[in-house]
Amino acid sequence: MDAHVTPSRVAGRTRAPPSKSYTHRAVLAAGYSDEAVVRDALVSADTKATMRAVEAFGGSVDCDGQTVEVAGFGGRPGTPDDVVNCENSGTTMRLVTGCAALGEGLTVLTGDASLRSRPHGPLLDAVFDLDGRAESTRRNGQAPLVVGDGMTGGTVEIPGDVSSQFITALLMAGAVTEEGIDVELTTELKSSPYVDITLELLADFGVEATRTDAGFSVPGGQSYAPEGGAYSVPGDFSSLSYLLAAGAVAGAEGEDVVIEGARPSAQGDSAIVDIVRDMGATVDWDEDAGELVVSAADLTGTTVDVGDTPDLLPTIAVLGAIADGDTVIENCEHVRFKETDRVSAMAEELAEMGANVTEQRDRLTIHGGETDLVGAAVDGRGDHRIVMSLAVAGLVADGETTIAGSEHVDVSFPNFFEAMRDLGAEMTEH
């Protein structure tokens, strides 16, 4: 399906979707429990993959709107009857690998072509070092994966610069092992705030896990049980970034965009608020009410290190293409290992729209002062974040922008186009 975007102005009130990162973790944590309710959940293509995995391990999941009731497997996953298909969800694949490692039998994990090209080797090595079985059927560290044989816990070394999700998977699984797991990092940890999300959520489920001088530690023999039997998911700042960017670059004159669901949490992507402010937009954040108010402004370029906030790169790249001067996105090599190579994807697709961009391995520079965006036919690369960021660019490009693969927004923000139309954006899909 294609999205068609024509220049338009936005104003009004909208709401950020629930956090995908928190929903994945909460649903799996509920699976580790005897039973739990996850409220305000994001029910999307990706999180449904995690729900199916919980069911494959012997739990049951019942969705009623944004309320997910889970009868869990009590910390001991059963052996699935069939292959577990994680579709396009890298978070599912990695978090579920840790869970599958606890099983006495073997679990086969696979996904779509994009997911089967993403690296899992360090996590497989860690599971093996913790006395579990974990291997790639193609012996290249990529799915399909075969995992199981009852990982018992212990101390393990793992690099921190490939994916923070490896650490999350080990911490979540380690809580129900006999020995617990001590994770010692062999490199600097990238995307550190995502592990903070994990630690915050584990605490809400009654599980102790801490940072150490060497990395992280989770004692064994613990049980998952949220207070009152329920957990509520906060709003998603990664998805909110597109709404915030739209207000900053295409807000109607004299009017604001108000974004609900912006309560403070451990999400590193809340940095988008300060980034947009730094580029010159007026953003007011009522943290108690969970509301952001943004109005359009003339933006100027900035320099942003996305080592901890990789999902913001597409949004920042678009802001840079509209801003005056250069916007430099640094420390971004790990962003190449997402649903697609997002560094190259944004460089190439923005160039199709007339942007002057310099791409390096670990840096992306958008020369906004030398850019006049024009409507063009661009490719969303099967990546929800590429699609949504290009849609924001289309709001201010000269002429119509056609984005291939618009259906992929279902991964994290299923009603993205509807929300944008409600703000006045001229966007259609067919």
Would you name the residues annotated as active-site residues?
A: 311
- The answer to whether 363 is a known ligand-binding residue is no
Q: Tell me if 195 sits within 8 A of 189, measured CB to CB.
A: yes
Distance CA 60, CA 31 (A): 8
How many whole angstroms separate alpha carbon 337 and alpha carbon 311? 11
> Is the sign of the CA dihedral 144, 52, 112, 19 positive or negative?
negative
Instruction: Tell me whether residue 118 is annotated as binding.
Output: yes
Which among 183, 151, 152, 180 is positioned nearest to 165, based on CA atoms? 183
60 annotated ligand binder: no
Residue type at 302 in one-letter notation: T
Contact between 49 and 412 (Cβ < 8 Å): no
Burial category of 324 from C-beta neighbours within 10 Å (exposed 0-12, middle 13-18, buried 19 and up) = middle
> Tokens at residue 423, please?
């703000």
Q: Which two structure tokens, joined as six digits, stand for 98?
A: 């840790």
Answer yes or no: is 44 a known binding residue. Answer: no
**Residues contacting 317, CB < 8 A, separation 6+:** 327, 329, 346, 347, 350, 364, 366, 389
Backbone angles phi, psi at 134, to 5 degrees: -155, 115
190 assigned to a ligand binding site: no
Give 42's Cβ-side CA count (13 Å radius).
34
Question: Residue 90 annotated as binding?
Answer: yes
Answer yes or no: is 25 a known binding residue: yes
Q: Is 133 annotated as a binding residue?
A: no
Do residues 62 and 91 make contact, with C-beta atoms less than 8 angstroms apart?
A: no
The span from the first CA to the last CA of the chain, in angstroms, equals 6
Q: Is 191 annotated as a binding residue?
A: yes
Please state the residue numbers annotated as binding site for 3-phosphoshikimate. 20-21, 25, 163-165, 191, 311, 338
Please state the residue numbers annotated as binding site for phosphoenolpyruvate. 20, 90, 118, 165, 342, 385
